[in-house]
Amino acid sequence: MQDKFARMITTEERSLVRDNIILIKMLEMIDFNRKQIENSRNLLRPIFLKAADRLLDLVLADLKNIRMQLRKANIKWWEGEQKELVLSYHIVCRGFEDTFGMTRDVAKTQLSIKFGEYFAQVSEPFKSRSFADVGNVASNTVGLP
């Protein structure tokens, strides 16, 4: 009996699966919004595109790290049956099969938390700077004339 529990997926490993799923959803959302920005005529379009690109870079780097950890732990997952309010995934870890479910509300909350973390990183160059400094940062990062 103890051997069975030793093979079960740990809380940390479940967190990796959850973060992997959330980051994939984030990539989809960022890509969708980036395409909308590309097609807009907004005056701040170059800055918004640069911010979206930076977000993509950060999310992709974290996703790569999580996927390496999942591979190292020999954890595989795939989407299961999606019900109205629950996102369901199948997990195989060390021969143990399990289902991982997340309500849409929990997914939205996780997305909000993660986006907040990434927005803080993207906005860091603009914090505690004068208006002139922000203009210099913006022109250096987005290639404004």
- CA distances 128 to 25, 26, 40, 88, Å, are 32, 28, 29, 43
pLDDT at 47 over 50: yes
pTM: 0.79
Structure-token pair, residue 23: 């980051």
Beta carbons within 10 angstroms of residue 18's beta carbon: 17
Helix (H) or strand (E) holding 43: none
What is the pLDDT at residue 83?
83
Instruction: Report how far residue 130's alpha carbon sits from residue 36's, in angstroms, rounded to the nearest whole number.
Output: 30
* Model pLDDT for residues 92-116, shown as the tens digit of each residue: 988 888 888 999 999 999 999 999 9
Q: Sheet containing 96-103: which strands, arranged edge to edge?
A: 75-79, 86-93, 96-103
* Model pLDDT for residues 112-134, shown as the tens digit of each residue: 999 999 999 998 877 766 555 55
